[in-house]
Chain A
Amino acid sequence: MTAQLVIFLILAAIAVAGAVSVILQREPIHSAISLIAVMIALAGLFLLLESEFIAAVQIIVYAGAIMVLFVFVIMLLNAGAEERTNMSRMARYVGVPLAVFLLIELAYQVGAATSSMTAQPAADGATRGISMLLFQDFVFPFELTSILILIAILGALVLAQRSEGAPAQRAQQ
């Protein structure tokens, strides 16, 4: 076994264990931390593929920004421990088999698609390649996505303001 394979197995184990722990933890904040562990393990996997840029961005954006927001909201709402419910009959007899089926299907498809692939490191600095793709070849879809996100933010703002008193009142503040 090469050192790379060992590191891969460790990181993969952390990622899977973290993902399972996200679901199993009862405290919301423990789930959030498990998710952060998953993100960091994924960044490590990107590092193994020699795409340092993606690894750093993975940590900065997901672990550093989005998850901070999650933790912030959990702390702000002071969300308590979740209560366990026994699975409903529907979930037990339909949901679980479907979930297992989906898992097997995904594993099979991914395995089939990637069995002939070998990991190829990005030539001449992945950073340059990614920025070329984002800002030259696919600049239009990229900007379109940004506008889409902007619209979503504005929509959230409008919705949040509607529930809290009249708009005129808020404008004065």
Chain B
Amino acid sequence: MNDSLAHSILLVSLIKVLVLLFLVLTAVAYLVWFERKVAAHIQGRWGPYRVGPHGLLQPLADGAKFLLKEDTTPAGADRFLYFTAPVITLTLAISAIAMIPFGPASVRILGVATPLVIANINVGLLAIFAMTSIGVYGVALAGWSSNNKYSLLGGLRSSAQMISYELSLTLSVVGILLLAGTFNLSELILRQDGFTWGYLPKWNLLSPTFPQVLGLFCYFIAAIAETNRAPFDLAEAESEIVAGYHTEYSSFKFAMFFMGEYASMITVACLASILFLGGWLSPFPQTPGMDWTRYIPAAVFAASAVGLILDGLHHRSLARVVLPLLGLVLGALSFLCLQPAIIDYVQGPFWFLTKVLLVLFVYVWVRWTLPRFRYDQLMRFGWKFLFPVALLNVVVTSLAVVMRR
């Protein structure tokens, strides 16, 4: 490899990292907005509405508030760990996304063809699990270093919960590994290409060998527990232990925990769509008769553009300008998606993000529908129900794989 090529590969990687970092942080901010909106509508409220049209600027206001609040450190806290804990949480949550492939097409940047993934490594799946498994230290150490009994209880609860549910999480994926025979995430997606009877996609969820319905079920539940979200948010159960492990945290350190939680939600949703829902594969077969499905991304953007412009007319003041402007941007995006040079590049990321958004919606939906578990229920459910079911899935899938051979 000559020197200039090595340098441009480094530069391209750096550009990709920066772009993804920007996208992920924005996505995290608007995921909070999305969650608040969905929660509000589930409960028959409007949700954020004051800051910007439809509360769209709320994340910015929240961010400014986090930056400006006083940053306190409790007396008797272990200063080093108290500072490190939120950093661990956020860093690991964000870097796990580097392994996620967003599409099949390789893009040319600075004359170097590069795929839509930062780190396409052989053991991508294991690497993500490695990151989530260390992520628990952020919570545990925050609980320990705060010198507060409620924090300590939250940290304790979280570490016990993580140990219990990590088993089911890893086992639930073994079925897919048996079907595909690789740890590489891009290859895992490619193995799901094709259609049963011409129309049913061969995603692992609908795999003709053995559908991974149980796998997805276990994966999703265990993943909710791993990310400490309701109904498994016992580490921060506010009705029992104030705010759990982040009771003493304020200002931007708290924001780091907050962002870490949402970033790991995104990772989990991406992984769910890669492992079970075919990643960036289109749900429609690419036969000549189904050619029109290539225009779905453009159609979706155009429809939302029209919706935004019409909605803008109902508003007064600033929103009357901002919403139609946003609509115009979406319209331009829709026009871009129609260009023959771009249309093929759009398909993968579009379907991938659609699936991710779907999973995220279910994630939020679950949180605002189910009440919190009691701690003994949590442990019993994890060990006596989820773990055996995940094991059963492994046994049946391996039987099916052997029979098919």
Contacts and interface: CB of A to CB of B under 8 A. Distances in A.
* Chain B binds chain A: yes
Interface of A: 27, 29, 33, 36, 40, 43, 52-53, 55-57, 59-60, 63-65, 68-69, 71-72, 75-76, 78, 125, 127
B336 interface: no
A60 B130 contact: yes
Interface of B: 78, 81, 121-123, 126-127, 129-130, 133-134, 136-137, 140-141, 143-144, 152, 155-156, 159-160, 162-163, 166, 170, 183
A75 B152 contact: yes
Given A56-B123, A125-B122, A65 B133 contact: yes
Closest 7 CB pairs of A and B: A64-B133, A56-B126, A59-B130, A72-B159, A52-B123, A56-B123, A60-B130
Given A63-B134, A64-B133, A71-B137, A53 B126 contact: yes
Contacts of A27: 78
A60 B159 contact: no
Nearest to B129: A60
Q: Give the residue among A57, A64, A65, A127 with the most B Cβ atoms within 10 A.
A: A64
B140 A69 contact: no
Contacts of B143: 75
Nearest to A63: B134
A14 to B, nearest CB: 15
Nearest to B155: A75
B17 to A, nearest CB: 19
A134 to B, nearest CB: 15
A125 B184 CA distance: 11
B7 to A, nearest CB: 14
Contact of A72 (B122, B130, B156): B156
Contacts of B140: 68, 71-72, 75
A76 B155 CA distance: 10
7 contacts: A36-B134, A53-B122, A64-B129, A68-B136, A68-B159, A71-B144, A72-B160
A59 B133 CA distance: 8
B121 A52 contact: yes
Contacts of A57: 126
Q: Give the residue among B127, B130, B137, B155 with the most A Cβ atoms within 10 A.
A: B130
B122 A127 contact: yes
A81 B137 CA distance: 20
Contacts of B121: 52
Contact of A75 (B122, B156, B163): B156
Contacts of A72: 140, 156, 159-160, 163
B134 A59 contact: yes
Given A29-B144, A63-B134, A56 B127 contact: yes
Contacts of B144: 29, 71, 75
B404 to A, nearest CB: 19
A46 to B, nearest CB: 11
A71 to B, nearest CB: 5
A87 B208 CA distance: 68
Given A36-B137, A64-B134, 6 more contacts: A40-B134, A64-B166, A71-B144, A72-B156, A75-B159, A125-B122
Contacts of B129: 56, 60, 64
B168 to A, nearest CB: 13
Nearest to A76: B156
Contacts of A127: 122-123, 183
A37 B6 CA distance: 31
Nearest to B136: A68
A78 B78 CA distance: 14
A31 to B, nearest CB: 13
Contacts of B155: 75
A53 B81 CA distance: 30
A88 B306 CA distance: 83
Contacts of A53: 122-123, 126, 183
B6 to A, nearest CB: 11
A173 B136 CA distance: 31
A53 B125 CA distance: 10
A63 B133 contact: yes
A78 B148 CA distance: 12
A56 B160 CA distance: 22
B309 to A, nearest CB: 49
A120 to B, nearest CB: 18
Contact of B122 (A52, A68, A69, A76): A52
Nearest to A57: B126
Contacts of A40: 134
A56 B123 CA distance: 8
Contacts of B183: 53, 127
Contact of B159 (A33, A43, A71, A125): A71
A27 B122 CA distance: 38
A56 B144 CA distance: 27
A133 B342 CA distance: 47
A69 B81 CA distance: 18
A50 to B, nearest CB: 10
Contacts of A36: 134, 137
Nearest to A69: B163
A40 B133 CA distance: 12
